[in-house]
Amino acid sequence: MLDRLVPFIQDVYRTLEPIPLHAPRFVGNEKRYVLDTLDSTFVSSVGAYVSKFETHIESFTGCGKAVAAVNGTAALHIALYMAGIEQDDLVITQALTFVATCNAIRYLGADPAFVDVSMESLGLCPDALRNFLEENAYLDDQGVCRHKLNLRRIKAVVPMHTFGHPVQLREILDICNLWQLTLIEDAAESLGSFYRDAHTGTLGRFGVLSFNGNKIVTTGGGGMVMCSRREDGERVKHLSTTAKLSHAYEYIHDEVGFNYRLPNINAALGCAQMESISEFLKAKRALANAYKAFLYASDFQFVCEPSYAKSNYWLNAMLCVDKKGRDRVLDLTNAQGVMTRPAWQLMHRLPMYQDCLRGDLENSEWIEARLVNLPSSPPPSFLTGGATAESL
């Protein structure tokens, strides 16, 4: 099977040239809208496309209010700030995540605390979350969740929808409500993914999207804060524009704010990309079907969407028998110009997070040793009717 993997991927993408892990596709009005911003001279954060892009996200996801930001990390930073995260707080998240999840927590002087992931979703496991809290936390007389030993406040839970696969949001939300914790969804990778009938990022008080160049929809660099409450969204917008009050000519700022607003030129690209998102999602589902069929009955296990969810299959992934097998796949494919990647190194292995609190991370460590991400750009032929997109 391994000797057939590279030819299969080359055949899917119809090329012998190097194949990236995930490249953007520009198939619509991208150039026209970007040139429109140049002609208008409104290329920074003041421009019509910023609001249009936010409206696109609100309509597509069903969130209460969407606020565009310069990148996903900035969006997560301001969402955590809005949730009241402060110096020395603890924020529960997963060790199997991209480093930006933890960096945004640290920006506020707080520390991540790591719990294990689910084997079905690859994201935060509600059972692991429940066990961690029961063993390590209590509610004080004011109803504040605190760590039993160091008395530090535990303020929020940040699950990440790994590679676009939704976590068990309802179970996690119930636990958060029980322990007086704010749910903030790191939905950076999951635009177009649904937990039951709800888009990811809309069940927590805040959700965060990324529009980096490798995402399913890109603005070059960009992010979005999705707010379940419109009043939260209005405050996020105010804070993200340096907390500047409207005035005909005076510069009046009423609090410390952030210079996090998405430029109009990037938002123009995003507007055009959102016009094609349904086509992108169909093509990515067709690609996932192709990988699943190819890997069937092999030594490799294709990572399917959870039974309760519909994933965008942002990055397709397979699980190898062991780490040795994983490394063999990575060496062979990359040597032949087919870009594959392992999962991120677990956060508690990084020097800046090695001393953070953590529970048993058995599943995270098992996945880390075996997972390989496969090329996941929508194949051009799949975008022109060259493949079907049956449900998995």
Residue 144 in this model has a pLDDT that exceeds 90: yes
Range 43-68 average pLDDT: 96
Using alpha carbons, select from 85, 69, 45 the residue that is nearest to residue 233: 69
The model's confidence at residue 293, banded by pLDDT at 50, 70 and 90, is: very high
| Residue 139 belongs to some domain of the structure | yes
Q: Do both 144 and 176 map to the same domain? A: yes
Neighbours of 190 (CB within 10 A): 31
Q: Which of 274, 290, 309 is the last residue of a domain?
A: 274
| Residue 340 belongs to some domain of the structure | yes
| Residue 389 belongs to some domain of the structure | no
Question: Do the bridges between strand 223-227 and strand 182-186 make them parallel or antiparallel, or are there none, so unpaired?
Answer: unpaired
Q: Cβ(372)–Cβ(323) under 8 Å?
A: no
| Residue 325 belongs to some domain of the structure | yes
Q: How far apart are CA 210 and CA 190, in angstroms?
A: 9
Out of 81-85, 172-176, 368-372, 383-387, which region has the weakest mean confidence (pLDDT)?
383-387
Q: CATH number of the domain that 103 lies in?
A: 3.40.640.10
Residue 172 in this model has a pLDDT that exceeds 60: yes
Q: How far apart are CA 340 and CA 385, in angstroms?
A: 26
Q: How far apart are CA 193 and CA 9, in angstroms?
A: 24
pLDDT for residue 385: 47
Q: Do both 264 and 292 map to the same domain? A: no
The model's confidence at residue 390, banded by pLDDT at 50, 70 and 90, is: very low
Instruction: Give tens-digit pLDDT for 248-283.
Output: 999 999 999 999 999 999 999 999 999 999 999 999
Q: Do both 46 and 103 map to the same domain? A: yes
Q: Do both 236 and 93 map to the same domain? A: yes
Measured in whole angstroms, how far is the alpha carbon of residue 201 from the centre of its chain? 9
| Residue 392 belongs to some domain of the structure | no
Neighbours of 243 (CB within 10 A): 15
Question: Do the bridges between strand 316-319 and strand 341-342 make them parallel or antiparallel, or are there none, so unpaired?
Answer: unpaired
| Residue 390 belongs to some domain of the structure | no
The residue ranking higher by pLDDT, 387 or 182, is 182
Q: Do both 21 and 40 map to the same domain? A: no
Instruction: Give tens-digit pLDDT for 193-251.
Output: 999 999 999 999 999 999 999 999 999 999 999 999 999 999 999 999 999 999 999 99
| Residue 199 belongs to some domain of the structure | yes
Interhelix angle 72-82/230-240, rounded to 10 degrees, is: 120
Residue for token digits 């530090």?
A: 152
Q: CATH number of the domain that 349 lies in?
A: 3.90.1150.10
Q: Do both 14 and 40 map to the same domain? A: no
Out of 71-80, 141-150, 379-388, which region has the weakest mean confidence (pLDDT)?
379-388
Q: Which of 246, 274, 302 is the last residue of a domain?
A: 274
The model's confidence at residue 1, banded by pLDDT at 50, 70 and 90, is: confident
Q: Do both 239 and 101 map to the same domain? A: yes
Q: How far apart are CA 359 and CA 293, in angstroms?
A: 36
Q: Do both 290 and 364 map to the same domain? A: yes
Tokens of 192: 């177009």
pLDDT for residue 384: 67
Range 79-102 average pLDDT: 98
Q: Do both 37 and 163 map to the same domain? A: yes
Q: Do both 183 and 323 map to the same domain? A: no
Residue 34 in this model has a pLDDT that exceeds 90: yes
Q: Do both 305 and 209 map to the same domain? A: no
Residue 98 lies in domain: 30-274
SS3 annotation, the chain: CHHHHHHHHHHHHCCCCCECCCCCCCCCCHHHHHHHHHHHCCCCCCCHHHHHHHHHHHHHHCCCEEEEECCHHHHHHHHHHHCCCCCCCEEEEECCCCHHHHHHHHHCCCEEEEECECCCCCCECHHHHHHHHHHHEEECCCCCEEECCCCCEEEEEECECHHHCCCCHHHHHHHHHHCCCEEEEECCCCCCCEECCEECCCCCCEEEEECECCCCCCCECCEEEEECCHHHHHHHHHHHECCEECCCCCCEECCCCCECECCHHHHHHHHHHHCCHHHHHHHHHHHHHHHHHHHCCCCCEECCCCCCEECCCCCEEEECCCHHHHHHHHHHHHHCCECCEECCCCHHHCCCCCCCCECCCHHHHHHHHHEEEECCCCCHHHHHCCCCCCCC
Tokens of 255: 């609090």
Instruction: Give tens-digit pLDDT for 174-183.
Output: 999 999 999 9
Q: Do both 22 and 43 map to the same domain? A: no
Q: Which of 274, 290, 317 is the last residue of a domain?
A: 274
Q: Cβ(185)–Cβ(206) under 8 Å?
A: yes
Range 107-130 average pLDDT: 98
| Residue 157 belongs to some domain of the structure | yes
- pTM value? 0.95
> What is the tally of structural domains in the chain?
2
Range 123-152 average pLDDT: 98
